[in-house]
Chains A and B, each alone.
Chain A
Amino acid sequence: MKTNDWVYFITYGATLTLLAPVLGYWMAKVLNGQPGFLGRILSPLEKSIYRLTGIQPDKEMHWRTYLLSLLAFNGLGFLFVFLLQITQRHLPLNPQHLPNVPGWLAFNTAVSFTTNTNWQAYSGETTLSYLVQMAGLEVQNFLSAATGIAVMLALARSLIRHSSEVIGNFWADVTRTTLYVLLPMSLLLSLVLVQQGAVQSFRPNAVARTIDGSEQVIPLGPVASQVAIKQLGTNGGGYFGTNSAHPFENPTPLTNFLEMLAIMLLPAALIFTFGKMIGNKKHAWMIYGVMMLMLLAGITAAYWADWRMEMQLPGIAMEGREYRFDRASSVLWSVLTTAVSNGSVNAMHGSMAPVTGLVQLFNMMIGEVIFGGVGCGMYGMMLYILLTVFIAGLMVGRTPEYLGKRIDRYTIVWASIGLLLPSAVILEGTALSCLSPAALASHLNHGPRGFSEILYAWTSSSANNGSAMAGINAATNFYAIGLGMAMLLGRFGVIVPVLAIAGHLAQGKSIPPSAGTLPTDSLTFSLVLTAVIMIVGGLTFFPALSLGPLIEHLLLATGRLF
């Protein structure tokens, strides 16, 4: 291992661990109606939005109303992005005169961006107009992130309440998240990106006459403003087809570091927001510790595999990577972007070592609870925590309790649905693709990697990640529709159970801790929690993983090529 790589990893980890709690505790105040210093500038704007829309931010909602509002809001988002795409030829800000997007592709893209997946079956630069990119996709970058955070806020509230029918106001949660957290941070980051070289322009593409006399299109557009939020909001959908490997999205080693920090910052901070809201910061550090442990294990395995691949054939590791980034940072990014539900890439996952791919897949398969998407990582982890409390309770023969709440049948049934549904979608979808001639015809790599490409596509969609092992042609009808459905199930198949649980917990009575209560902020509990995640993930996906990356790794070690 190079010294530089050590310095890189440690600087990254330290910066994150310093920033996350500060930002997290601050957000706990801001998102609950105490905007502090930003309030002086933005409070009037927040109030005028409420006045304009007739929203009463203090009027809290029953969980069903909260869910219904969320679904209506996201449904509108879907419809708007869909309509913009299929009519873009007739709309302004289309200087390249791009044609309307075909219906099934527009469906896939609209679902993808409203569910915070940002899976892309198209190349942005040649498919979407400036207007669709900014008024369609970029808006959903903000709003899908805000939706995830809102659900987490509702869940946190439900845990500290008792005998309460309400869990918060969805409109206020979304507005505050967008206004006080996402917008200011994106503004700041996008300006740094432009300073370093990212593009931000409304002019038509420039055309260059190159040194050897041929023509080169210099693609322009409102790029930096979109890249900033796609990194911060765990979205990950690039302006360009090659995402953050493209020099116009990620021009320098510095932007590479900042974009990578942006991937993790909000998901990590939200754990502390959660801890502060439930009044138990120690619990937040416990969760942070479990996530960090699993993340480090993943980074170690991925880095080892990358080093080994380079030893076998020097030079091969740079396939699909950019020279301005160090090799280690490309491996680190690939692990972070799959642990967190981001899905942006600065190097092509399709060209990475089999075991690196295995780490990426596993990160997504367990439901992206290693920090995870903004909000959804934390509420996904909560499902595992509830399951662990339940299992631990069974083991010691006590009624399971969590933070003074009795964990009963209703909660466990919903938690199981939230955990099992996305897994079922991944396995069923992959199996279906392996039986469908249309799906089989469209993969690129031969051998086990061909299977991994299919498995990766379903995993990435169902987990709302959006990165790809590429290779498969996702723009076929089969995949556009199938993966679109997977994204919907993976998103709302978890949100509905979480809100149902939140509503139920808020109604429950609070039980004072007794000698029989299992402490949930202890080291023992952290270890049991880690074990539950590994076992649930391992048992569900080991057969599929062994057919893809595992067998490829073993065959490659014997020198077998495809």
Chain B
Amino acid sequence: MTVEDPRTTAVTGLGHYVLGLGDDALVLSERCAELITRSPTIEEDLAISNIALDLLGQARGLLAHAGELEGAGRSEDDLAYLRLDTQFRNCALAEVPNGDFAFVMLRIYLLSEYFILRYAALADSADSQLSAISAKALKEVSYHKLHARDWVIRLGRGTAESAKRAQAALADAEPYFDELFDDTWIHPDLITAGIAVSEAALRDQWQAALDKTLSEADLELPGASRPFSGARHGRHTEHLGNLLALTQSLHRAHPGASW
């Protein structure tokens, strides 16, 4: 009997890429879902829940597609609930803990700007399924950006306390920026073939959008952080394991549980 090393059994090629897209959505969705019943007002609670549900819907479509591409019979649930943290391909910015409201909104803003550029490009992907999922997701993440961007500006230009917290959130998030634009986890042929998008190529547009927002918000990028890398290759922060323990515990205790 051979025992497979779970760290090396991963879907490859296009499936691997789509899995990474799905993991970004799934992990950010889980972080947003943690805030349900924790938001400052019932209106904001529902706004964040809606964002979490939109992202979960995107994750389902992407993980199901990744499973089909893999061709080993794994469903979206198998991929969401039965992988180890080292097999997740999401960026680290999606997985770090929520912290305060300033970080919550800043993270949603930063990743929404990123998702917008990615999905807008992928809407023209040569993979028709990926193209369809992206076109739908683009509308959702555009709305998330609108909401979160407004909060970032309001916090930055609000009280001394809110500005301090928004600035601190920016410093906390900055180490995870470089990783968003790292192409090393994407097979280069997929980019050449017009199936995947080069994330490195999105950076200038993303930075320009961020600069504009920060200027409106009276915030400044500290620009002195040590970049984190490796999450796309399975080397995550210590926080993903804890998040997945919560997400996966029910499915692991009661395999196939449904209602």
User: Do A and B interact?
Assistant: no
Binding site for A on B (CB under 8 A): none
